[in-house]
Amino acid sequence: MDSRRQVVMLLAAVVSLTACAHPATNACGHPVRPVLAPPIHVRPETSARGLTILALDATSNEPIAGARVSLLDSPIVATTDSLGLAYLAGIAPGAVAVAVRAIGRSPILDTLNISATRGRFLIVQLKADVICLEDPIIAVPPAQRP
């Protein structure tokens, strides 16, 4: 088993906390799983320079593939892989603003200090961004009514 998969499995085990088991519903009345509280944000240093991001679903803690990770005011961008991991290299030391976005989820914005000699590891939990559409109202002109 490669080390990246081991890291994800270990982190999934750590963040798989037991939430209350009663059923909950969203604004549309659909059942949802409880959200972990509080969200987990771990920021240890790593031996490799740069920034490694692990993007997880805030409800299930499943990895999110295809999330876009970017540094604000910088051309440096990466996309998370099937394990939810992305790596950003070539970051100048100092404070950087990081944005993590995925379709259908609320974005995460954070500021990190990047060392000249060590990297950073950031775990983010992205919450689903639910939009409920009401039943459509279709207006039919009187001349076209049956």
Per-residue pLDDT reduced to its tens digit, 79-133: 999 999 999 988 888 899 999 999 999 999 999 888 888 888 888 999 998 776 6
pLDDT at res. 141:
80
Who wins on pLDDT, 84 or 145? 84
Question: Structure pTM?
Answer: 0.61
pLDDT at res. 18:
36
The full set of domain ranges for the chain reads 3-130
In Å, what is the CA distance from 71 to each residue of 23, 30, 100? 38, 35, 9
Q: How far is the C-alpha of 50 from the C-alpha of 24, rounded, in Å?
A: 40
Tell me phi and psi for residue 30, to 5 degrees. -85, 145
SS3 79: strand
CATH fold label, 3-130: Immunoglobulin-like (2.60.40)
Q: 3-state SS of the chain: helix, strand, coil percent to 5?
A: 10, 35, 55
